[in-house]
Structure 1
Amino acid sequence: MAEIIELNATDLAAMLCSRVCHDLINPIGAIGNGLEVLADPNQTEMADGARDLIANAAKQSRAKLEFARLAYGASSTSGTDIDTRECERVARILFEIEKAALEWNAPLILLPKHKAKLFMNMLLIAATSVPRGGVVAATISGDAGQEKFEFTTRSDPEKRQRTLVPSGSAGLLAGIPDEGFVDARGIQPFYTGILARMTGMEINIGLENEVFFLTAIPKAKTAD
């Protein structure tokens, strides 16, 4: 059996930084393009379009930065728990720029910081399973300390939507990438797997009857 890949802290930080930069480069570039148009007196007829471009790009940038701050960063300098209300707030900002709709089924509880990060990173993977749109259901159940995370996604075939398991995600979550190595393109699901192992959670991912599922269950519970 292949061994789980271990990254040192420097490589992990570098790849996560690359991921954030990749997510932000297009909207930040669009803001710059829009400002150039507004500054050009010869393109006044394009001013309204430029303002719309800037507003949309700023919305995307904010959503991606809010997500990165919570899912990758320290999020807060005080405390070790994160309120699920903060998770929901960030999730709804993210889904304002996603094609899918969000169904949030989580109680108002405090989650240990790494568990909250795991939940948010699982949410992002679930969103990528319906790239053309659909519904993402995010659920937390179970007693404190034994929470179960469950994500399901559905698409609408009549709208030519498609539900899929994101390429390579199963191996990356398990820490055993299909290619035998991990790079910045796969670091987000790989990092999700790291968080699952840190928090003692067992992850399952797949597609059944055109419904994508991604779950995390405490390992002690799987042995019952």
Structure 2
Amino acid sequence: MTVHEDPIRAAAASGIAPHRAPELGPDQAPDLVALAGSRMAHDLNNPIGAIANGVELLGLTGQAEGPELALITESVENARRRIKGFRIAFGAAAPGQTVSAEDIRALTAPGPDGRRIEIDWPVTGPVPRQEAKAVFLALMCLESALAWGGRVAVRAASDGWRIVASAERMRVDPGLWHILEGGPVPADLPPNAVHFALFARELAKRPRPVAITGSDTAIEIGF
């Protein structure tokens, strides 16, 4: 029978101090939700990329043509765009990381998903990933209110961001928007509204308090 020696005890007996990870305070602990978001987005992107490559090869060889292939191509492209957007909104954002202007323009441009929301974000250079994360979460909150379509303008200010959504009519849940102003997160928060809780957490990290104003046809978020 083989006896496996405890490596920690063996190291202690030999006078070698075992390696221990440094203890982190509450403010230094890793953001497990963000890390999980990054992991899922990464793992989902690989098979979707493989499908996209396969569809492209089918098109080049002429083995498959017609509306069916076009539908698959559009669906794959839509999935890739959404996963990239989710990775920015839900994923980890380390200091020093940025999101390129090209990626932001590609993710906010009208796509094959039939989105009826026009996003006007005149970005000209890379945006710090932590800032992009907050803006993408804000866009998701505003998209929840633009159930029938509309327009969103994103502007960078000297002290933060100003994002304005406008439409002929909106669907606003006061309980969800109250979360952004420091209100409690309801125990029955639905999955399709989780971005409100995550955006509130990002807002709590910022020195400037959030300012939200609205009417029947417009909502403005300043942070």
Q: TM-score, normalised by structure 1?
A: 0.61
* Counterpart contact for 1:151–1:215, Cα < 8 Å: yes
Deviates more, 1:96-105 or 1:133-142: 96-105
Does 2:83 match 1:65?
A: yes
Match of 2:121 in 1: 104
Match of 2:101 in 1: 85
Aligned residues: 179
Letter in 1 for 2:88: L
* Counterpart contact for 1:163–1:212, Cα < 8 Å: no
Match of 1:125 in 2: 141
Q: Counterpart of 2:209 in 1: which secondary structure?
A: strand
| Percent identity over paired residues | 17
Q: 1:12 aligns with which of 26, 33, 36?
A: 33
Gaps of 5+ in 1: 1-7, 39-46, 157-161, 217-224
- How far residue 196 of structure 1 moved from its aligned partner, in angstroms, is 1.2
Match of 1:164 in 2: 171
Q: Deviations for 1:9-54, whole angstroms, at most 9, x for unmatched residues?
A: 687359858x97xxx8xxx8xx8xxx9xx9xxxxxxxx73422321
Letter in 1 for 2:90: Y
* Counterpart contact for 1:136–1:152, Cα < 8 Å: yes
Q: Counterpart of 1:202 in 2: which secondary structure?
A: coil
Does 2:57 match 1:50?
A: no
Q: Which has the higher contact order (CA 8 A, sep 6+)?
A: 1
Go from structure 1 to structure 2 and tell me whether the alpha carbon gap of 1:141 and 1:11 turns closer, same or farther (over 3 Å shift): closer
Match of 1:5 in 2: none
Match of 1:153 in 2: 165
- How far residue 63 of structure 1 moved from its aligned partner, in angstroms, is 1.2
Q: Deviations for 1:147-202, whole angstroms, at most 9, x for unmatched residues?
A: 2x12212224xxxxx22325642133245346346564432111111111123232
Q: Counterpart of 1:138 in 2: which secondary structure?
A: strand
Letter in 2 for 1:120: F
Q: TM-score, normalised by structure 2?
A: 0.61
Deviates more, 1:62-71 or 1:182-191: 182-191
When Rg is computed on C-alpha atoms for both structures, the one with the higher figure is 2
Q: Counterpart of 2:155 in 1: which secondary structure?
A: strand
